[in-house]
Amino acid sequence: MMQRSTLLLLVVLIQGACNPANSQKAEEVEHPPVSVQQPSDQEEIAASRQTAITRAVSAATPAVVSINVIAVEQVAVRDPFMNDPFFEQFFGRRRARMYQRQVKALGSGFVISPDGYIATNNHVVRNATAITVSLHTGETMQAELVGRDEATDIALLKVDAGHPLDYLRFASSQEPLVGEWAIALGNPFGLFEATEPTVTVGVVSAVGRDFEIQERAVYRDMIQTDAAINQGNSGGPLVNADAEVMGLNTFIFTQSGGSIGLGFAVPARKVERIIAELKENGFVDRSYYTGLTGYDINEGIAKALGLESTAGLIVQDVGDGSPAETAGFQPYDVITSLGGEDVENLSGFQARLYDFRPGDTVEFGVIRDGKPLTLTMVIGRTEG
């Protein structure tokens, strides 16, 4: 395990003296001169340049890797005579042809254990047929895809380096502080493969950022940072000043294709949980069953039910013998929260469910006949 090291120069001065109460005949003892080596100007300058940031970077760098992927993707090739009435009368309606082609993708990752487990993004290794990992030392090796999770955009790789690897710890026991240092490490645009990662520094701009479901990925409770993150940084770590992983760099908002200071990372506590499941099972079990069906609330429904807003989800049906029925749900209940988190609409409800697993006990905030109440459900499992 990597430890932060701090150079501490401690100089202790000891003086010897005769006790005046002693006889004048007391022998004087000569002490040899104490030699204290003074630091050179260069050493002083070097020490003054060290900061919490440089120490964190030095500690984190050996565990950051670049990832090179060969993947297969489906490509639609448009027929030039498609939708042409003249050709359609002879050859019928023509469709775009689908082809497979190999593509190369680049990304980043970081080692999470000395035996070679590596965390990265699912979108970095999606459809991969070959994955190569490069360490900062220049070592390059093939990686095995242990498992991946589309919903959280997290993947787990494994390499056999033949020796223990430096790795990073997760800062999952504490929430990131808005305004604290945030250090992003990775391999932007694949420019620096098999060498030390690129480092950018900023702060934690916000926490708890939620987004709509995008291509099966549910980005919830994201960490926002202004540390520059660019293409190829995906999967790299966002670390704090203690060189602990706050989050896994995942995506940016951009108009130019480059960083504009709006980067987002999956928080460490979620990464650590998903990685543990992937390591154990190779997948994340989301075969949950509630027995609830519902729909969004519009202004008309809100007015009819005497609700103050359209936030929430109205229950349409409760399955017979379902976990929802056991929990006491009824049609026309309005679900306002799930697991302590507010529910804005059906999409938000579905996204919140992604955080739970079959067998979990979850509390629901509900409004029934204008009165708030709490219902507790044990999440069931889909049969088959």
Question: For residue 187, what are its two tokens?
Answer: 């391999």
Assess whether 356 and 304 both reside in one domain: yes
Q: Which of 259, 281, 303 is where one domain is finished?
A: 281
For 137-160, what is the mean pLDDT? Answer: 95
Alpha helices in the chain (DSSP H): 41-49, 52-60, 85-91, 122-125, 268-281, 299-304, 323-327, 346-353
Q: What is the pLDDT of residue 97?
A: 67
Say how far residue 136 (Cα) sits from the centre of its chain. Answer: 21
In a domain, 38, yes or no: no
Nearest to 56 by CA among 199, 248, 265, 174: 199
| pLDDT greater than 60 at residue 341 | yes
For the chain, how long is the longest CA-to-CA vector?
Answer: 129
Assess whether 206 and 297 both reside in one domain: no
Assess whether 185 and 276 both reside in one domain: yes
Q: What is the pLDDT of residues 61-108, one digit of tens each?
A: 999 999 999 987 766 665 555 565 655 555 556 566 666 777 788 899
Distance between first and last Cα of the chain: 43
Assess whether 137 and 75 both reside in one domain: yes
In a domain, 242, yes or no: yes
Q: How far, in Å, CA of 31 to CA of 35, rounded?
A: 12
In a domain, 54, yes or no: no
In a domain, 336, yes or no: yes
| pLDDT greater than 90 at residue 7 | no
Task: Look at 39 and 365; give whichever has higher pLDDT.
Answer: 365
Assess whether 97 and 131 both reside in one domain: yes
pLDDT above 70: percentage of residues in the chain: 80
| pLDDT greater than 50 at residue 12 | no
Q: What is the pLDDT of residues 23-49, one digit of tens each?
A: 444 444 455 554 455 666 677 766 678
Assess whether 271 and 292 both reside in one domain: no
In a domain, 6, yes or no: no
Q: How far, in Å, CA of 267 to CA of 247, rounded?
A: 4
| pLDDT greater than 50 at residue 348 | yes
Structural domain for 326, as ranges:
288-381
By annotation, the residues acting in catalysis are: 123, 153, 234
In a domain, 39, yes or no: no
Give the CATH number of the domain where residue 331 resides: 2.30.42.10
Q: What is the pLDDT of residue 109?
A: 96
Output the CA angle 26-31-33, nearest 5 degrees.
155
| pLDDT greater than 70 at residue 314 | yes
Neighbours of 307 (CB within 10 A): 18
Q: What is the pLDDT of residue 93?
A: 60
Q: How far, in Å, CA of 285 to CA of 159, rounded?
A: 24
Assess whether 197 and 241 both reside in one domain: yes
For 6-30, what is the mean pLDDT? Answer: 37
Assess whether 306 and 354 both reside in one domain: yes
Q: What is the pLDDT of residue 305?
A: 86
Give the CATH number of the domain where residue 213 resides: 2.40.10.10
Assess whether 244 and 317 both reside in one domain: no
For 293-315, what is the mean pLDDT? Answer: 91
pLDDT confidence band for 10 (50 / 70 / 90): very low
In a domain, 190, yes or no: yes
Assess whether 238 and 329 both reside in one domain: no
Q: How far, in Å, CA of 231 to CA of 219, rounded?
A: 18
Task: Look at 239 and 355; give whichever has higher pLDDT.
Answer: 239
Q: What is the pLDDT of residue 331?
A: 95
Assess whether 328 and 363 both reside in one domain: yes
The answer for residues whose C-beta is within 8 angstroms of residue 166's C-beta and 6 or more apart is: 2, 62, 63, 111, 114
pLDDT above 90: percentage of residues in the chain: 58
| pLDDT greater than 80 at residue 243 | yes
pLDDT confidence band for 155 (50 / 70 / 90): very high
Note the pTM of the prediction, 2 decimals: 0.77
Domain count, the chain: 3
Question: For residue 311, what are its two tokens?
Answer: 């936030």
| pLDDT greater than 50 at residue 165 | yes
Q: What is the pLDDT of residue 117?
A: 98
Assess whether 267 and 353 both reside in one domain: no
In a domain, 41, yes or no: no
